[in-house]
Amino acid sequence: MDFLRPSTLEEALAAKSERPAGVPIMGGTDVMVDLNFDRSRPPALIDLTRIAELREWSLEGGALRLGAGVSYTRVIDGPGAHAPALAQASRSVASPQIRNRGTVGGNLGGASPAGDCHPPLLAAGAVVELASVRGVRRVPARDFYLGPRRTARQDDELITAVLLPRPAGPQHFSKIGTRNAMVIAVAAFALALDAEKRTVGTGLGSVAPTPVRAEEAEEFLAAEFDWDTGAPPAEPVVRRFGELAASATRPIDDQRGSAEYRRHAVGVMARRALAWAAAEYRGGLGGGTRCA
């Protein structure tokens, strides 16, 4: 196995173009597990850790540009203030050691349906930036996940960044697992209210072959939510929102949980997230989230 260590993005893109079967490695918290268990033996590893711009983040007109190589620890400490649900998800990942090494780009690269970044990125309307020697293109997160661990990224492309619009309302992430730390989600749910556009975003994890949105639930809540006052939604609205969120799932039974439990869990998380978000909306400012 060859080990390539490009020191610039240009070199890395050239390496990926010449060796499309080469596997990029950033934090290595997924790649090294696969190698250690002999699940894969790629012809080359392309180490991205020397590429400074992948570890940078910036604000562009209030929107967050998060380099693919920004670790969870750094998301929590810095840019997370501009992406509240992603910050909550980052806090829930693994242990401090894994959060120090694991990256948002690596989560996107692996595209596990259980990856914790995906629900908040979907709910927030994030866009994934992909680059190759052919150029740069931007793919909305909602079009990025194509199948189990399969994404819109072409073999010669690298993920360079993820772009998140300025949050214009409350955002929440919740995750159910068998314990509080070091756990892969049995089910996860993210909600984002956009007070300016009066739209609702959702993201569901671990409950379908890919991370998914609950589009019917989004449309229903956007029509029913009292955007002027943020008054607590009536009980039938809360219940229906939970039902529609649960109906967007296509879960399986596995050792972590049954399909029935996962579907139920999404309904419960959706109802709770709505209650938290509505309260925060009424409060105006809270948890680093800006409301209109």
Give me the residues that bind ligand FAD (CB under 6 A), please: 23-31, 33, 48, 68, 93-94, 98, 101-103, 105-107, 109-110, 115-116, 158-159, 182, 184
Residue 66 forms beta bridges with which residues?
Answer: 57, 162
- Please provide residue 176's backbone torsions phi and psi, each rounded to the nearest 5 degrees: -110, 130
At its nearest, how many Å lie between ligand FAD and the CB of residue 205? Answer: 8
Q: What's the token pair of residue 133?
A: 């020697």
For residues 269 and 189, what is the distance between their CA atoms, to the nearest angstrom? 6
**Minimal distance, residue 250 CB to ligand FAD, in Å:** 20
CB of 239 to ligand FAD, least distance (A): 30
Token pair 């840019």 in the structure block, residue: 79
Looking at the Cβ atoms of 143 and 219, the one nearer to ligand FAD is: 143
Give me the least distance between CB of 20 and ligand FAD, in Å please.
Answer: 12
Q: Among residues 52 and 285, whose Cβ is nearest to ligand FAD?
A: 52
Tell me the H-state helices in the chain.
Answer: 9-18, 31-36, 72-77, 84-92, 96-101, 104-110, 118-124, 141-144, 215-224, 235-247, 259-283
Distance CA 25, CA 140 (A): 23
Pair of tokens at residue 179: 């314990």
Q: Which helix (H) or strand (E) holds 31?
A: helix 31-36
* Minimal distance, residue 81 CB to ligand FAD, in Å: 20
Closer to ligand FAD at the Cβ: 47 or 280? Answer: 47
Q: Which tokens is 97 given?
A: 């050691």
Given the complex with ligand FAD, which of 25 and 124 has the nearer CB atom?
Answer: 25
Output 19 or 240, the one with its CB closest to ligand FAD: 19
CB nearer ligand FAD, residue 10 or residue 219: 10
Three-class secondary structure of residue 23 per DSSP: strand
Distance of closest approach, residue 267 Cβ to ligand FAD, in angstroms: 22
Closest CA to 54 of 76, 24, 84: 24
